[in-house]
């Protein structure tokens, strides 16, 4: 039985949650969850749980439906709050978990398992500063592994390098060898931060610097549009061009020259987009092109978009093979999604986008009646399209004139400073966008 209403008649009373309930009446589960997300975080948790239970049941998520029903029945029970939060995180709705886990942490007297789950939810939402604040509040009780490690990790992702370095110095080597890779990744991250700090401002607008700190990716170009609208060098929706592809490849060439990396070949991945760009890269770099082979060193592996590779037959296995870097191997991705980062982090990326259409893909165009239509994909042979890239105009797009300087000289200077920490360690996925914000579309 629910605590204040029967299961048969239970309905939310909060106006925002009533709207979500009515959306469920119309059979729109995603729309109802959007309504819950849009509501304030101080909504009554038992009423949130009512809506989530119904939505989860409709979606077939039995674990979340059961945890939600238990919370609706006992909204002050720390266990019910924790179980609901845990189920939300597991089902990919960590924003709904956060208020419940905060309440569970308070009612449980700061239980560390609850704190860790709350930190996990904050991380999934990119709310690293709040994760840091919560961990710091309980600093006197933190275990070094994982709690102090998580404090350092979130301090870096939140942009507080002073705190990260101070806490990192207090972190002993882990006794459990399973934590050794995490410690090594953190060591490399802070070493990259030292280099990036010498190369630039490393402030809340230094996208190239922070992209390097987070995952070791050298970002080739910055979007010249929307700085005043909060894009800070990232693209939202982009119809790509051969000009932009060539500019990205020339930045890759400059990066290899500045860092002294001397590949002997370009490795072609099997998806069409990557093969087109790889053939153009071979021409730009003056190297032979050959099919990708796992473990090959001294080569540049070229992907147009790693998400596109993952969707190709055999792509997930290839992505797994790229996780561990072979000696002298460079992974270059032209287009890299920043809102849903790829499973492996590239060493070089030409641009960051939320959504992209390749130049030879079905791009939008003006129709004969003055409207907008999607044109056909370019089905010419790959070598012919690649030749169009190498013959393109790599002049920088002036954009709207509000962005920072992104000239070849500035890029080469950055690459030269970071060469000592580039190409180190595995290519672990970095889910966070870090401390540089950008506007995004739904």
Which whole-number Å values give the CA distances from 64 to 5, 59, 187, 373, in the listed order?
20, 10, 37, 41
Per residue in 208-237, pLDDT (tens digit) is: 999 999 999 999 999 999 988 899 999 999
Convert the pLDDT of each residue in 142-183 to its tens digit.
999 999 999 999 999 999 999 999 999 999 999 999 999 999
Give the pLDDT confidence score for residue 67 in this predicted structure.
98
pLDDT tens for each residue of 304-351? 999 988 888 888 899 899 999 999 999 999 999 999 999 999 999 999
Whether 190 is in a domain gets the answer no
Whole-number pLDDT of residue 7: 41
- The answer, yes or no, to whether residue 1 has pLDDT greater than 50, is no
Query: Rounded to 10 degrees, what is the CA torsion of 145, 146, 148, 154?
Result: 150
Q: Could you tell me if 148 and 87 lie in one domain?
A: yes
pLDDT at position 403 is 80
Q: 142: how many CB neighbours lie within 10 A of its CB? A: 19
User: Is residue 136, in this structure, part of any structural domain at all?
Assistant: yes
Quickly count helices (H) and strands (E) in the chain.
Answer: 18, 10
67 & 21 share domain: yes
pLDDT at 9: 47
- Same domain for 401 and 257: yes
Q: Is residue 197 part of a domain?
A: no
90 shares its domain with 230? no
Q: Which two tokens stand for residue 343?
A: 């499973």
**Structure confidence at residue 366 (pLDDT):** 77
Sorted by sequence, the CB contacts under 8 Å of residue 320 that are 6+ apart come out as: none
Q: How far apart are CA 353 and CA 223, in angstroms?
A: 9
In whole angstroms, give the CA distance from residue 74 to residue 81: 8
**What confidence score (pLDDT) does residue 10 get?**
79
Within-domain flag for 360: yes
Both 346 and 280 in one domain: the answer is: yes
Same domain? 264 vs 218: yes
Pair (139, 34) in one structural domain:
yes
pLDDT in tens, 413-430: 999 999 999 999 999 999
Q: Which tens digits make up the pLDDT trace of 182-214?
A: 999 999 999 999 999 999 999 999 999 999 999
> pLDDT averaged over the chain?
94
Is 177 among the domain residues?
A: no
CATH of the domain at 273: 3.40.50.2020
Please state, in angstroms and rounded to a whole number, the distance separating the CA atoms of residues 274 and 140.
50
pLDDT score of 442: 63
Secondary structure class of 365 (helix, strand, coil): strand
Eight-class DSSP state of 353? E
Q: Are residues 21 and 66 in the same domain?
A: yes
Given a cut of 50, is residue 3 above it in pLDDT? no
Per-residue pLDDT at 6 exceeds 50 = no
- Last residue within a domain, chosen from 146, 169, 192: 169
Provide the pLDDT for residue 229.
87
Q: What is the pLDDT of residues 27-84, one digit of tens each?
A: 999 999 999 999 989 999 999 999 999 999 999 999 999 999 999 999 999 999 999 9
Task: For residue 302, report the phi and psi dihedrals to the nearest 5 degrees.
Answer: -110, 125
* Same domain, yes or no: 244 and 322: yes
Handedness of CA 45, 46, 47, 53 (dihedral sign): positive
Tell me what pLDDT residue 235 has.
Answer: 95
Q: What pLDDT, on a 0 to 100 scale, did the predictor assign at position 308?
A: 86
pLDDT tens, residue by residue, 274-284: 999 999 999 99
Residue 344: CB atoms within 10 A of its CB come to 25
Between 400 and 125, residue with greater pLDDT:
125
What is the greatest pairwise CA distance in the chain?
A: 73
Q: d(Cα 162, Cα 171) in Å, to the nearest integer?
A: 15
DSSP bridge pairs for 335:
305, 351
How far is 73 from 4, CA to CA, in rounded Å? 8
Token couple for 46? 């038992």
Cα angle 327, 328, 333 (rounded to 5 degrees) comes to: 115
Is the residue at 8 inside a domain?
no
Query: What CATH number is attached to the domain comprising 163?
Result: 1.25.40.10
Report how many domains make up the chain: 2
The dihedral region occupied by 364, where left means phi > 0, alpha psi between -120 and 50, and beta the remainder, is: beta
What percent of the chain has a predicted confidence (pLDDT) above 90? 88
- Compute the 3-state secondary structure of the chain and give helix, strand, coil in percent, each to the nearest 5: 50, 10, 40
At 338 the three-state DSSP class reads coil
Whether 156 and 221 share a structural domain: no
Q: Within this chain, do residues 146 and 232 fall inside the same structural domain, yes or no?
A: no
At 8, is the pLDDT very low, low, confident or very high (cuts 50, 70, 90)?
Answer: very low
- β-bridge mates for residue 366, sequence order: 372
Counting every residue, how long is the chain?
442
Segments forming the whole domain that contains residue 165: 15-169
Please say whether the beta carbons of 426 and 325 come within 8 A.
yes
Which element (helix H / strand E) includes 132? helix 128-137
In this structure, are 277 and 363 located in the same domain?
Answer: yes
Tokens of 351: 């641009």
Q: Provide the pLDDT confidence category of residue 2 given band limits of 50, 70 and 90.
A: very low
Q: Is 358 within 8 Å of 386 (Cβ atoms)? A: no
């Amino acid at each position: 039985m629910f605590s204040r209403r029967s299961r048969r008649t239970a309905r939310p009373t909060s106006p925002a949650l009533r709207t979500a309930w009515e959306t469920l009446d119309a059979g729109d589960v995603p729309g109802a969850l959007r309504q819950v997300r849009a509501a304030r975080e101080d909504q009554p948790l038992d009423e949130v749980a009512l809506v989530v239970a119904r939505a989860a049941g409709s979606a077939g998520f039995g674990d979340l439906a059961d945890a939600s029903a238990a919370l609706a029945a006992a909204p002050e029970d720390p266990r019910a709050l924790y179980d609901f939060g845990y189920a939300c995180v597991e089902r990919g709705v960590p924003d709904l978990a956060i208020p419940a886990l905060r309440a569970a942490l308070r009612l449980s007297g700061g239980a560390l398992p609850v704190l860790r789950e709350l930190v996990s939810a904050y991380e999934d939402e990119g709310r690293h500063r709040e994760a840091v604040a919560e961990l710091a509040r309980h600093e006197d009780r933190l275990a070094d592994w994982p709690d102090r490690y998580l404090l350092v990790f979130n301090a870096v992702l939140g942009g507080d390098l002073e705190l990260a370095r101070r806490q990192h110095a207090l972190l002993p080597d882990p006794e459990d060898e399973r934590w050794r890779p995490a410690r090594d990744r953190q060591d490399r991250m802070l070493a990259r931060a030292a280099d990036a700090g010498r190369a630039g401002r490393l402030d809340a607008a230094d996208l190239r610097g922070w992209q390097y700190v987070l995952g070791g990716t050298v970002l080739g170009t910055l979007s010249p549009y929307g700085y005043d609208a909060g894009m800070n060098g990232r693209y939202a929706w982009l119809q790509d061009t051969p000009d932009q592809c060539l500019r990205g490849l020339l930045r890759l060439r400059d990066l290899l020259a500045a860092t002294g990396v001397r590949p002997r070949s370009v490795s072609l991945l099997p998806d069409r987009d990557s093969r087109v760009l790889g053939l153009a890269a071979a021409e730009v770099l003056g190297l032979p092109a050959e099919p990708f082979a796992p473990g090959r060193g001294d080569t540049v592996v070229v992907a147009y978009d790693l998400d596109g590779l993952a969707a190709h037959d055999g792509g997930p296995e290839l992505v797994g093979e790229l996780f561990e870097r072979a000696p002298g191997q460079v992974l270059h991705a032209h287009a890299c999604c920043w809102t849903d980062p790829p499973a492996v982090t590239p060493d070089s990326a030409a641009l960051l986008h939320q959504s992209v259409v390749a130049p030879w893909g079905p791009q939008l165009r003006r129709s004969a009646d003055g409207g907008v239509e999607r044109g056909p994909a370019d089905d010419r042979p790959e070598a012919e399209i690649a030749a169009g890239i190498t013959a393109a105009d790599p002049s920088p797009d002036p954009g709207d004139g509000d962005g920072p300087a992104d000239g070849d000289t500035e890029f080469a200077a950055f690459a030269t400073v970071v060469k000592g920490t580039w190409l180190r360690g595995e290519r672990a996925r970095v889910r966070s966008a870090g401390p540089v914000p950008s506007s995004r579309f739904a």
